[in-house]
Structure 1
Amino acid sequence: MYAPLPLDPTAPPVTINLFSDTQTRPSRAMREAMLDAEVGDEQLGLDPTVNALCARVAALLGKEAAMFLPSGAMCNSVAILTHCRPGDEIIAHESAHIIEAEGGAPWALAGARVHGLHGARGFFTPDDLRASLRAPSRYSAPQTLLEVEQTSNLGGGAIWPLDVLQQLAGIAHEAGMATHMDGARLMNAVVASGIAAADYAAPFDTAWIDFTKGLGAPLGAVLAGSAEVIDRAWRWKQRLGGALRQAGICAAACLYALDHNVDRLAEDHANARRLAAGLAGIAGLQVETPETNLVYADVAASGRSPNDWAASLRAQGIMVSVMGRTRLRLCTHLDVTAGMIETTIAAFTAIN
């Protein structure tokens, strides 16, 4: 899915990094907050900064409890392990991150298979979900978990409509399934839509937010749910080696991000719209209109492969993602300025 070019010692330094919003670097102010953090043993509940972060995210998502984890992928794994048993089935979109980019973790760790549903922009409908449900039978895998990704990465950063999420979760719960939201870019959806994070998370038994993407922290994600679910999730955190000790140093970066880097996501969205508009005027590129900070360009009609495009851009110090056989992804974030957007559009134009 993600295909960075091989390292080339002769290539110029990367000056514009549109590869992913995971490429953000902590600012000096964020580093100073980390330096000043009060710390303790996180595993024993004695790190006040981690405790403050978990309490804040639980409130943000409207949940009773939360836990701090190193990454969003680990949040997904811990949630899946908590909700599922070996042989269970998870229902998600066919392009979901848990299928495409987590090393087969649901199968390898939980022994659960993921049934991927079709649908444009990373979405499926309530009718699609109903059609995928089976009557309980000793002959088929128990369908135990519904998973959605907000925003939909491979769907172009598209935002799931709240009413659809509510309908999907209602159908799943009526069928006896648990529900989980992969909130890797949930705060992008919040800023773009004006809908509160707690409203998006409300229909889901577990949800998490990532601090390493547009929020700019070097690591960290927080998984939230009921007190009972998070208590069970702690056993899986322990089994996976997730004791973080004096993790307040890292949690302080996440608290700083909540204070300073949420509202400014709107700048990333504006930069993405400008980038998409500029690329749309280049012959051979089919550009999807972004809702948030992800810009996808299909290069099939250009006569060049996405790898060729990426290599030509990399030679100019610009790094982008290759997504599949025909698409490039360009991701705006806090280290990408409006001027860099104009430089990138000019670079595409010159290559063409």
Structure 2
Amino acid sequence: MIIDLRSDTVTKPTKEMLDAMMSAEVGDDVFKEDPTVNALEERLAKMFGKPKALFFPSGSMANQTAIKLHTSPGEQVICDKYAHIYNYEAGGVAFNSGVSCNLIDGHRGMFTSQQVIQSINPSDFYYSQTSLVEVENTTNKGGGACWDFQELERIKTVCDSHNLGYHLDGARLWNALVAKKETTKQYGQVFDTISVCLSKGLGCPIGSVLIGDEVIMKKSIHLRKIFGGNMRQVGYLAAAGLYALDNNLDRLAEDHKKAKEIGAILFDLSIIKKVEPIETNIVIFELESHVDEGEFIQQLADKDIHIIGMGSNKLRVVTHLDYTDEMHERLLAILNEF
């Protein structure tokens, strides 16, 4: 039994999801004639109370499109130093949009409205013009932390008063919604654009969707084409998203529960220096300085348990749809042996 906890992206479609995919009605999406992808886009737009949604092959492409929609070359995006768009999207902010990032030193990937105010550049001609604030919820490098929604509203007020765009990288927003008992409509009212991922917590094989207001989304399909993301009979993939929205949202609470139980075991181990607070499905922990990170990972791998190293003796575990109760009991038992 292989236990893969490197990421929630390692899941494979269930038989039921595959059945939904194989029975999907499809057409040419470049002509907007694929009824299944149209249905997915319409459903997500309605869920967030927005007029437009567009299916993308990846979350990075959806985020990169949003950044380009909000900015012009030479301008600047405000985001946290842990932001996915800065750390894990291959420099796409600079390459695709010609903009730079003004990094906020936040807390676990989150920052305050006051920090945003302090990060907005003066209007003098020799400064890069600030044009966008980007938020990630939940925060990946922050250990699956969830934002305080009232802080997000306060940042929105700052964006409105300074004429700034407001984008949400919601790759794991579904986890935040379940953990905090919040709604998609709340987020739709606050953000101009929102990207949501279907292939992480919801267990789809591929896909993200960018959702937004009418004016800002007008060029989104053109930019998707430029980035090479226009597809044909994509309804087979969109059907997985529709199935996941019907069946895999509420069960995210199970992933959160298991993550907290893993964290509780780690907290009591003498070789563990620190376990970050656990709110959703990500567990980040730090080994004591005398423990070799590579050796610890290998010891688990020898028992068919796979986790990911983050450097500096920090490691990450991510629970997900394919991590069963049986796997969970085995992992807890093995951790207790340490």
Partner of 2:217: 230
1:293 to 281, 304, 313: 281
1:252 to 226, 229, 239: 239
1:111 to 77, 98, 106: 98
**Letter matched to residue 250 of structure 1:** L
Q: Measure how far apart 1:131 and its partner are.
A: 1.1
Partner of 2:56: 69
- Where 1:282 maps in the other structure, the secondary structure is coil
Q: Measure how far apart 1:326 and its partner are.
A: 2.0
Q: Measure how far apart 1:167 and its partner are.
A: 0.6
2:184 pairs with 1:197: yes
- Where 2:145 maps in the other structure, the secondary structure is coil
Give the Cα separation in 2 of the matches to 1:119 and 1:307. 29
Q: Measure how far apart 1:339 and its partner are.
A: 2.9
- Where 1:120 maps in the other structure, the secondary structure is coil
- Where 2:108 maps in the other structure, the secondary structure is helix
State which drifts further: 131-140 or 188-197: 131-140
Is the CA contact 2:136–2:168 (under 8 Å) kept in the aligned structure 1?
Answer: yes
Q: Measure how far apart 1:89 and its partner are.
A: 0.4
**Letter matched to residue 199 of structure 1:** Q
Q: What is the percentage of aligned positions where both structures have the same residue?
A: 39
1:262-303 alpha-carbon deviations (Å, 9 max, x no partner):
00001001111111111111112121231000011111x151
2:133 pairs with 1:146: yes
Question: Structure 2 matches for 1:3-152, cutoff 5 A?
Answer: 15-152=2-139
1:195-249 alpha-carbon deviations (Å, 9 max, x no partner):
1022123211100210000100000011000122222111111111111110000
Partner of 1:335: 322
Give the Cα separation in 1 of the matches to 2:222 and 2:295. 46
2:162 pairs with 1:175: yes
Is the CA contact 1:170–1:203 (under 8 Å) kept in the aligned structure 2?
Answer: no
2:292 pairs with 1:316: no
4+ residue runs over 6 A deviation: none
TM-score, normalising length from structure 2?
0.97
Equivalences, count: 337
In structure 2, stretches of 5+ residues that fail to align are: none
TM-align CA RMSD? 1.2
Is the CA contact 1:275–1:342 (under 8 Å) kept in the aligned structure 2?
Answer: no
Give the Cα separation in 2 of the matches to 1:169 and 1:128. 13
Partner of 1:306: 293
- Where 1:238 maps in the other structure, the secondary structure is helix
Q: Measure how far apart 1:341 and its partner are.
A: 2.3
Q: Measure how far apart 1:345 and its partner are.
A: 2.8
Partner of 1:272: 259
Q: Measure how far apart 1:134 and its partner are.
A: 2.3
- Where 2:284 maps in the other structure, the secondary structure is strand
State which drifts further: 324-333 or 46-55: 324-333
**Letter matched to residue 138 of structure 1:** F
Give the Cα separation in 2 of the matches to 1:100 and 1:201. 26
1:156 to 137, 143, 166: 143
TM-score, normalising length from structure 1?
0.93
**Letter matched to residue 292 of structure 1:** T
Give the Cα separation in 2 of the matches to 1:307 and 1:281. 21
Is the CA contact 1:283–1:302 (under 8 Å) kept in the aligned structure 2?
Answer: no
Is the CA contact 1:305–1:325 (under 8 Å) kept in the aligned structure 2?
Answer: no
- Where 2:219 maps in the other structure, the secondary structure is helix
1:318-339 alpha-carbon deviations (Å, 9 max, x no partner):
1111113221110000111233
- Where 2:131 maps in the other structure, the secondary structure is strand
In structure 1, stretches of 5+ residues that fail to align are: 1-13
Partner of 2:195: 208
